[in-house]
Amino acid sequence: MRQITFREALNESLRYNMRNDDRVFCWGEDIGVLGGAFGVTAGLINEFGPGRVIDTPLSEIAIVGAGIGAALGGLRPVVEIMYIDFTPGCMDMIINQMAKIHYMFGGQSKVPMVLRIVTGAMGENAAQHSQSFYSFFVHTPGLIVVTPTTPYDAKGLLNTSIASENPVIFVENKRTVNIKGEVPEENYTIPFGNADVKRQGEDLTIVATQALVYDALKVAEEMEKEGVSIEVVDPRTLKPLDKETIFNSVRKTGRLIVADEGCIHCGIASEISALVAQEIIEYLDAPVIRVGSPDTPCPFSPPLEKAYIPGKQELREAIAKIM
């Protein structure tokens, strides 16, 4: 099958949806001529014009807030905030408005809006451009949180997100944006709350998200040679979370590592660990281990950043401990 990058898969989905539904439009900083900081919207302005692919002022509160307003008015906004690090500046719009309008007003109105954000540490961008705190959004009732890993998942899940009647936080990890994978040319959707077993195994389950899925798959391959059979489960959406697929895997293997780039404390890895402990602890043969970023901001200096970013090394250490 044809191979395209994660970035191209998203671009394809945006094009498809804009061609097929006039209500869909995009706005954000530098998404027009520049095609977005990571190239996801490249070329869209040429096809759809500046009336539907809108470069905004540098005004995050208005970008999200007016996006919500446009959704209330009947449109389907796909809004981009360049880095997750800039969402705290407009958190009120996300947490108090976008997430709550449907509930608070007794179900009368809806906010069918997609908020695309980029996360992850890479390339020495230091404390304010390297974060992965989407667990904040999982912690907020009313939001769907989507964390695709592969180009295939990216396209299918963005299609589902744009079609969804609910507000969606769509998380794109820097380290996966340029990775290629098989993507069908035709259109398709992937339901929310549907985890994907990215690799079958018998001895250990690694539940991983985004860039850490690739790391887990590489480490699993290495470990296969040493006789450890690892299953890699990718939740793909954190809210709703497909508990059953995770539980089924843990019931089979009896061991669990949860790997997510967010800071370990109070992150999604903690939530998944807690669910397993609460509901199927009798299947565990060893304590659960969480792998993630340390409880520090991301430092600039290359060796420190390297130590900060969780990856293969941290997974290997966790496996050595758990087996």
Ligand X SMILES: Cc1ncc(C[n+]2csc(CCOP(=O)(O)OP(=O)(O)O)c2C)c(N)n1
Q: Quick one: which segment of 6-14, 15-23, 122-130, 192-200 binds other proteins (CB under 8 A)?
A: 122-130
Any residues with CB less than 8 A from the CB of 226 and at least 6 apart, and which? none
Active site residue 129: yes
Strands 289-293 and 256-263: parallel
82 binds ligand X (CB under 6 A): yes
CB of 309 to ligand X, least distance (A): 20
Whether the Cβ atoms of residue 257 and residue 291 lie closer than 8 Å to each other: yes
User: Which listed residue (3, 187, 200, 301) binds other proteins by CB under 8 A?
Assistant: 301
43 binds other proteins (CB under 8 A): no
Q: How many CB atoms lie within 10 A of CB 24?
A: 21
CB of 301 to other proteins, least distance (A): 3
295 binds other proteins (CB under 8 A): yes
Q: How many CB atoms lie within 10 A of CB 22?
A: 10
126 binds other proteins (CB under 8 A): yes
- How far are the Cα atoms of 152, 198, 223, 240 from residue 169, in angstroms, in the given order? 18, 23, 34, 12
**Shortest CA distance to 187 belongs to which of 49, 35, 9?**
9
| For ligand X, the closer CB: 126 or 264 | 126
Quote the radius of gyration of the chain (alpha carbons, Å): 19
| Chain residue whose CB lies nearest ligand X | 86
Site string for ligand X, 41-80 (x = CB under 6 A): -----------------x-x--------------------
Any residues with CB less than 8 A from the CB of 118 and at least 6 apart, and which? 37, 38, 82, 83, 84, 171, 172, 173, 174, 177
- In the complex, the residues that contact other proteins under the rule CB under 8 A are 29-30, 32-34, 55-62, 85-86, 89, 123-129, 294-297, 299-304, 307-308
Q: Which residues are catalytic?
A: 129
- In the complex, the residues that contact ligand X under the rule CB under 6 A are 29, 58, 60, 82, 86, 89
